[in-house]
Structure 1
Amino acid sequence: MTHELNTGGDRGYLRIATEEAFATQEQIDVFLRMVRDGTADKGMVSLWGFYATSPSERATQIMDRLLDLGEQRLRHMDETGIDRAVLALTSPGVQPMLDVAEAKHIAANANDRLADARAAHPDRFIGMTAVAPQDPDWSAAEIRRGAAELGFKGVQINSHTQGEYLDDPKYDPIFRALADTGQPLYIHPATPPDSMIDPMLEAGLDGAIFGFGVETGMHLLRLITIGIFDRYPDLQIMVGHMGEALPYWLYRLDFMHQAGVRANRYARMKPLNKTIAGYMRSNVLVTNSGMAWEPAIKFAQQVVGEDRVMYAMDYPYQYVADEVRAMDNMDMAPELKKKFFQTNAERWFGL
């Protein structure tokens, strides 16, 4: 499987990594303060109580890499053949912060820092706007600033905001701004809220191993079943980690959703213009972040669409050169592999 990982397209495509994280020190400082003073939820205590304080090699490496938007990150991209990286403020962004003014300040500063890094390396870095959904109107304005002034190509929201989901009507200004700017929304995982985390936490399953995907997949389903794509038919929502398992549940999701609608079982579950699978094929985009697994990628391409599945590394949380080689070596037609690594990202991020 060994081959050189070069940038520049020597294998017939560029590699664009579409879910790559960075952090700011003031963001991490607030996480630590919240863990110390008891205002953090259980998920933050589990996640950032580890990454920001553990002396383990994994934690210290990740923290060092998250805070770097310069030479180390570029060197790691070069060493693994990554031509361009789509960068977003690491989960959970500013969404757990109880002081809304502080959250907005930190998100805006993070956006400015990312814009500076993008300006310094315009051929390597692509930005996504960080927002503070605690203030939907401010977030809408920041989405417009990111698109018009900072040159960003999408928006990332880290699933729930203090246990609330984007299907609540109060978040509509965010979707209106996405529609007005034509930008995609990337729903990135966060640890589950306190209302659902306990059985996962006690088993060590609250984070990337399981809890992230379960919670984020549910978030996307809440949006689909409330009719977000009927209201905003051009909206594109991205999810990582091979679609947070939803592509593999599609048959049952559709069967049971339609049964529930026919039975009038739930007040919020109304008829939609399409099936769940239909929306997955017209409004949902999937990246393989953290899932360098050929069978899963091919299945998603089959059921969601070849134009809707994109490459991601999930740097710095998952940084493995041999995973890039495995993706290069997939048994896949050259034109499809180029879509996966390059042209789908160029299309959906408007590059």
Structure 2
Amino acid sequence: MSAPDRIDVHQHIVPPAWARALAQRGLDSGGWAIPAWSAESAIEMMDQQGISTGILSVTSPGVYLADGETREAKSLARDVNEYGAQMAQEHPGRIGHFASVPLPDPDAATEEAVHALDVLGADGVVLMSNARGRYLGDPDFDPLWAELDRRSAVVFVHPAQPPMSLLPGTPAPLADYVFDTTRTALNLVLNGTMKRYTKVKVILSHGGGFLPYAAYRFSGLTATVVDRSQNPDDIIRDLKRFYFDTALSASPSALPALLAFAEPGHILYGSDWPFAPKEAGTYYNQYLEAYPDLSPAQMHAINRANAEALFPRLQR
């Protein structure tokens, strides 16, 4: 790629207030260390990897760090979102941001989403795949989904550690994150959230976990065993409403399944930097660029055009 062209929808930011809050509680990202971050290092990486714009977000565990700490979560969300807005303002065209919200408190989350979208100019909202063990199709979260739907907002779903112990010696990003992305996506569909809120655009991280691979298993068993009132075609339709990023997923086994399942226009470029190193980005970029079944137009769509449709301010 001769000049930075990609729009990276899965790139992370490490706001100082968030890093301090995690350090004070002895937290990390599911057994994965919190790396150093600066706007300068982010732009250096983007130039190297052919990325023109990164839409940045805070990763797991998000901003709600302990049960019952709604006040602290609201304050941390505001600090994180103001920092993201500042970085976007200081680096126009290169940095955008997804706003963090303090779920599982739906009222506080809705209030912060409105402020971030209307006042801070956020490009969308990032939601962890579960909020203190509650998944995103939880009916109590409907007020947030309704507000996001009224705004036709973009929602980026990032995996979190599921409400269970880590596998010994296995940080959550290795296995549990893939599982939890799939779990919350299925929860959103089977609880009717994707059916009720059709204007919101939901991006699933890491190629959707194993959703593309197992989608027809989910639809078939649900309709024949779990709930015979469900139509398998309707379940597949709702599953296909999701968008998917390529972070750590443009691989020989995952990419064919993703391309076979995703709707046209629903695959977006993602790097997962700095939690995934630049070497990982180089590996997946090379495989994506060399993939024989993608035309130049399809490659451009994944790298940029599909994201331009979600974020019109980035259109060229």
Length-normalised TM-score, structure 2: 0.90
Does the 8 A contact of 2:77 with 2:112 survive in 1? no
Q: In structure 1, what is the equivalent of residue 160 of structure 2?
A: 190
Cα 1:115–1:45, aligned 2, differ >3 Å: closer, same or farther? Answer: closer
After TM superposition, the structure 1 = structure 2 runs for residues 281-320 of structure 1, keeping only pairs within 5 Å, are 281=240, 283-294=241-252, 296-318=254-276, 319-320=278-279
Q: Which runs of 5+ in 1 are unaligned?
A: 9-13, 36-43, 53-62, 264-269
Counterpart-to-counterpart distance in 2, 1:113 and 1:260 = 48
Pick from 63, 79, 95 the counterpart of residue 94 of structure 1: 63
Partner of 1:277: 236
* Structure 2 Cα separation of the partners of residues 294 and 158 of structure 1: 27
Corresponding position of 1:7? 3
Equivalent residue for 1:216, pick from 181, 192, 201: 181
Q: Which residue of 1 aligns with 2:167?
A: 201
Q: 2:22 matched to 1:31?
A: yes
Match of residue 340 from structure 1: 302
The residue correspondences of 1:119-130 to structure 2 (distance < 5 A) are 119-130=89-100
Distance 1:278 1:74 in 2: 38
Q: Pick the structure with greater CA Rg.
A: 1
Correspondent of 1:156 among 119, 126, 146: 126
Change (3 A) 1:188 1:217: same
Q: Aligned equivalents of 1:295 and 1:346: distance in 2?
A: 27
What is the deviation of 1:101?
Answer: 0.9
Task: Find the counterpart in structure 1 of residue 30 from structure 2.
Answer: 47
| 1:75-107, Cα deviation, whole Å (9 max, x unpaired) | 111122111111011221112334211111111
TM-score when scaled to structure 1?
0.81
For residues 271-330 of structure 1, give each alpha carbon's deviation from its aligned partner in whole angstroms, at most 9, with x where no partner exists: 36953221122x201111112315532432222223111111111122223432332222
Paired position in structure 2 for 1:56: none
Q: Name the residue aligned to 1:257.
A: 222
In the alignment, structure 1 residue 246 sits paired with structure 2 residue 246: no
Instruction: Please give the secondary structure, in 2, of the residue aligned with 1:306.
Output: coil
1:59-70 to 2 correspondence within 5 Å? 63-65=35-37, 68=38, 70=39
Where 1:289 maps in the other structure, the secondary structure is coil
Q: Percent identity over the alignment?
A: 24
Deviates more, 1:164-173 or 1:308-317: 164-173
Q: Deviations over 1:44-81 (max 9, x none)?
A: 56835x515xxxxxxxxxx213xx1x212111111221
Q: Which runs of 4+ in 1 moved over 4 A?
A: none
Partner in structure 2 of residue 20 of structure 1 = 11
**Unaligned regions of 5+ residues in structure 2, if any?**
none
* Structure with the higher fraction of residues in helix conformation: 1
1:239: how far off?
0.6
How many residue pairs match? The answer is 308
Cα deviation, residue 216, structure 1: 1.9
* Counterpart residue number, 1:40: none
The match for 2:288 is 327
CA 1:262–1:51 in 2, change beyond 3 Å: closer, same or farther?
closer
Q: Output the amino acid matched with 1:330.
A: Y
Q: Indicate if the aligned counterparts of 1:227 and 1:272 stay in contact, CA closer than 8 A.
A: no
One-letter amino acid matched to 2:33: Y
